[in-house]
Structure 1
Amino acid sequence: MSAALKWMPLVAALALAGCARDGYFDDRRVDYAEAEASAPLVLPDSRDTRRYRDAMPVPEAAGSFASQGDDFEAPPPRALGAGSGVEAGDVARREATGQRWLVVGAEPSAVWSELERFADERGLQVVSRDSSRGVLETDAGRLSVRPGLQPGASEVRCEQAGTPLEGCLRALERRFEARGATASASSLAVQRAPEERMRPLLEQRAGEWRLVIPFDLERTWAELSYQLEADFSVAERRELLEQDADGHRFLVDYLTLSERSEGLLGTLTSLGQASPQRIRLVLEASGPERTVLRAEPADERELSAEDRRELLERVAGLLG
């Protein structure tokens, strides 16, 4: 072997080292620390806003931030679509204590226009209309719309003397389904300025974490039932076992934060496997438009404050 070839490995190593700050790989943490903000991109006002939307949307954090000390790690955002509400232009049913209504994937302002067209096409005589309250009184019953529990969704009711009109609900359901299945759905799915709405708030009272939901008990029960059925369906991690509509309680199996941490350690050291804990979620009315959700242990194990908080945070994400 020639002398030049003998020196080639050393030359290659020096070349690689010269391209790195610390060892063979570039530590880019300094790049982020020294990065400077640039002016945001501004699109012309003449653009067609229906053609623009978030390419990579990030879910908003549910509830409020609560520091847990120096070792606290922020939980990851809820995955988009996991236990989420209806998509833009879609429609779904909800039911609680004999009441039935529709949840439509559109802002109330867009749904209100559809209700007016629906009444006009059906030849209903409008007795009174109040767009600020979303109430349309007709000779055949009351049509109403109000913001749903999920962002960008609306609740639609068709009632007579407080009793749901099933035929009217079916007709409205078919109407919104038809619009969602055609190009005209763009009138419902078009991006609009988000309307003011309250969000679930995670708070600690007397050392116990609880979730305060700014909606009445029955609406909250119906929505949470729907969301838990969709999201708590993973064996050995989170499962909805029972629902008590009269007591407004749910029984779930949930792999708590502490169990997940111990399970990871057990996997690394071959010591064992984490197991879900049985927990009861209890809803209680705390005012006309205020519901409180608590998490209680339903087996012999204790439920730590940190595990309560983490579970309630997940539920808050389901409620938007």
Structure 2
Amino acid sequence: MPLAVSVMLVVAGCSRDGYYHDRNIDYTTAQPSRPLVLPDTRDLSRYRDAMPIPEARNEFVAPEGRFRVPRPDAVASGSQHRFVERRDAGQEGWLIIDAEPGSVWPQLEDFARRQGLGIVSSDPAQGVLTTDQGTLRVRSGLRSGVSEVRCEQGGVTQPQCLDALDGYLMAESQTASASALASQRQRASERQESVRLERSGDEWYMTVDADAQRVWSELGYQLERNFVEESRQLLLESNADTRDFLIEYMTVSERNRGAFSIVFSADVRQTAQWLRLALEETGPERTEVRVINESNKPLSAEDSRELLDTLAAMLR
């Protein structure tokens, strides 16, 4: 009898109504609840969506009426940004800070005081801090939520000043609170997109809200870090005078060629194409980037758009 009672208790414990309740199928009997209604007198600034859906960056195009999963952003070293990064273009140099200008400005003032620089004038609205030894400038960068900081004297870049500022900002970033960083990223996500794809007829091109020199420098930096794979995506050359880049790139249509099309094609190998990225300044703080085919293989509008989308992801 004791053994039978023990077996019954074990079986009961494993059943749905026993001590250990299995909730895996509870959703089948769940009832929807009424949505929460807030009073009209509430302070709207204190409420927002818990999981906001961002606006689409580009126009959606389904090639040939079919949906194709977009290519994910590369998880290479180029996708990981340091809090402070150095940029150089000829005789010019500046820092890229992974924070918005409003967050960087107080740190510039603190840096000037700690370095013993006499502050002559301070203009937060213009992002210009003038000292007795030079001028510090900050403005929004190309990527969302970042800033560009320059240290100049008479319009000439001061490398030693940038080195000192680099070390100071990196040290300060180690003490930044998680809540401050989260708030900063939220503001960055709400900022207007400065890099976008546009279309004119069958041609796609990328528009960046910045002058051509800044775009050429940042795009070159990202290409050097990300386009390093031979026969797939590789930076071949860059020309500062003409502001263009020559790359080797395997297009999306070439990557997606099936075994059947490869076997019955004159070219049985998957090969990359030589493409030129040409920059043109079309207005104040506006630069267009276009793809020019430098190879014998045709380049479709879909292939051009996919490449530009990859480049845009590196600049955002």
**2:101 maps to which residue?**
108
2:278 aligned residue: 282
Q: Secondary structure at the match of 2:117?
A: coil
CA contact under 8 A between 1:59 and 1:80: conserved in structure 2?
no
Q: 2 CA distance for matches of 1:129 and 1:284? A: 34
2:144 matched residue in structure 1: 151
Which residues in structure 2 correspond to 1:71-150 (within 5 Å)?
Answer: 71-79=66-74, 83-84=78-79, 86-87=81-82, 90-150=83-143
Aligned ranges 1:19-38 → 2 under 5 Å? none
Is 1:62–1:313's contact at 8 Å kept on the other side of the alignment? no
Distance 1:274 1:61 in 2: 32
Give the number of equivalent residue pairs.
269
SS at match of 1:295: strand
Moved more, 258-267 or 271-280: 258-267
1:1-320 paired onto structure 2 within 5 Å: 62-79=57-74, 83-84=78-79, 86-87=81-82, 90-180=83-173, 182-184=174-176, 189=181, 191-192=183-184, 193-195=186-188, 196-262=191-257, 265=260, 272-320=268-316
In 2 relative to 1, CA 312–265 (structure 1 residues): closer, same or farther, beyond 3 Å?
farther
SS for the counterpart of 2:308 is: helix
| CA separation of 1:315 and 1:60: change in aligned 2, threshold 3 A | farther
- TM score, norm. by length of structure 2: 0.75
User: Which stretch has the larger CA shift, 189-198 or 170-179?
Assistant: 189-198
Higher RCO by CA contacts (8 Å cutoff, separation 6 or greater):
1
Structure 2 unmatched runs, 5+: 1-26, 37-49
DSSP-derived class of the 2:269 partner: coil
Distance of 1:66 and 1:92 partners within structure 2? 35
Root-mean-square deviation (Å): 3.3
Alpha-carbon displacement from aligned partner over 1:250-272 (angstroms, at most 9, x marks no partner): 11111101111215555799993
Distance (whole Å) between structure 2 residues aligned to residue 159 and residue 38 of structure 1: 60
CA distance in 2 between partners of 1:155 and 1:37 (Å): 49
User: 1:183 Cα deviation (Å)?
Assistant: 3.6
| Aligned counterparts of 1:97 and 1:105: Cα–Cα separation in 2 | 23
Which residue type is aligned with residue 154 of structure 1? Answer: S
- Report Cα offsets for 1:59-96 as digits up to 9, x if no partner: 98654434545224352442456633624xx2111122
Q: Report if aligned partners of 1:106, 1:153 keep a CA contact under 8 Å in 2.
A: yes
Secondary structure, counterpart of 2:187 in structure 1:
coil
SS at match of 1:83: helix
Give CA-to-partner distance per residue, 1:75-118, whole Å, 9 cap, x none. 2442456633624xx21111224211001112212211110101
* Paired-residue identity, %: 40
- TM-score normalised by length of structure 1: 0.74
After the TM superposition, which of the residue ranges 212-221 and 198-207 deviates more from structure 2?
A: 198-207
Q: Return the offset for 1:178.
A: 2.5
